[in-house]
A = this chain, B = another copy of it.
């Protein structure tokens, strides 16, 4: 008998079907047993008598007839709440061992370390799984938005041979007797691909040997990168990024209604246009609002980011805000200085709900300016050889941006720790299991 998915049952009242899935919860009422069965499409109540003994999370097949529930037993919260399956036969496909904690509830009340120690199990919780359904929609929307604009996908390498911007916070890889490193960003690759392909994007993993445990850093994260040529100004980059963000939000809204509800989350509120202000303007606003004088600081602190997001939300009706014109010398060598005041650069961060979601901007495309900057930044030409090649042989004005997939996921759902937004988060203390528990340094 062919399998019927839970999602198909509502149209099969009075039919006998074979369901296959996991036992979510069991309610034993003496002879009668209620089993909530889940599969990838949903969950349904099944009821039977004299069933074989089965444990939660076991994989079973249930053959039974779909029946309407009596009026008073209808569960409005469930898509299948109007029906139930009268079990004729229950086959055990894979019996689950005793669970270390109760899974049969909407919310898993576990601390983060336990949640991750049992990742293979805790992901079966619908609310946990929802995070990654949203994440899959975000990443797919990012790609589709850019494909529509004629961007080409490329594969950015993870192994690199040099770290032009210094060796701090970079992972070292043994490479046939040489030292190699894990890439912190595909920036140089995506820029050099502008001349062959004009518009490129990549979904790639980036690596950062962050030596501290914070709620917003992972050692391996997913970066959504885009770069394109023939921009008229840095504002073209913002416009493209805003288009991508809005496309992502509209896809999540369309496809993740159920998941958003589980987290009582709404997508960030946007005004007609995402506001854009300069770093110095942001600092002035923060000073005026809080009395904290940050006007000479070289960057925004986490506290500043939260405050300027509050301002944007309260005064501009937008939970996202672009901050531009960071200090040139605080940015990488390829940043494009504002000709009107080269102390500041056409560099732009997108902040959302209090934190940085993305950074981007216009890049230098003049070969000699790049060479000069390499010198000024104290970097070696031979460490960026392929990159220089591109600009030596003609490259148009270009720019781009990189969005953090886990950060977007985290802030759409208002999770409190970025680890929750990564299936298998890596940090100082953990690669799947806790390093200290399994290994000797």
Contact = CB atoms under 8 A, between A and B. Distances in A.
Interface string A230-242: 1000000000000
Top 9 A-B pairs ranked by shortest CB distance? A96-B394, A123-B196, A161-B431, A40-B198, A120-B389, A120-B390, A177-B441, A96-B393, A136-B153
Interface stretch (A167-175, A307-315, A320-328, A345-353): A167-175
Contacts of A386: 119-120, 424, 432-433
Given A157-B424, A161-B439, A171-B174, 18 more contacts: A40-B150, A57-B394, A59-B195, A93-B394, A94-B365, A94-B394, A94-B396, A120-B390, A132-B196, A155-B405, A158-B205, A158-B220, A161-B432, A173-B173, A173-B182, A175-B209, A178-B441, A189-B424
Given A96-B394, A178-B439, A396-B94, A154 B193 contact: no
Nearest to A99: B393
Chain A contact residues, majority secondary structure: mixed
The copy count of this chain in the complex is 2
A176 B99 contact: no
Interface of A: 3, 20, 22-23, 39-41, 55, 57-59, 93-97, 99, 118-121, 123-124, 128-129, 132-133, 135-136, 139-140, 143, 147, 150, 152-155, 157-162, 171-180, 182, 189, 192-193, 195-199, 203-205, 207, 209, 211, 219-220, 222, 230, 365-367, 382, 385-387, 389-397, 405, 422-424, 426, 428, 431-433, 435, 438-439, 441
B94 A395 contact: yes
6 contacts: A22-B195, A120-B387, A132-B196, A136-B154, A159-B426, A385-B433
A368 to B, nearest CB: 10
A3 B153 CA distance: 23
Contacts of A95: 394
A120 B391 CA distance: 9
Contact of A199 (B20, B40, B135): B40
A378 to B, nearest CB: 18
A167 to B, nearest CB: 11
Nearest to A424: B157
Contact of A120 (B128, B155, B192, B396): B192
B175 A96 contact: no
A175 B429 CA distance: 10
Nearest to A140: B153
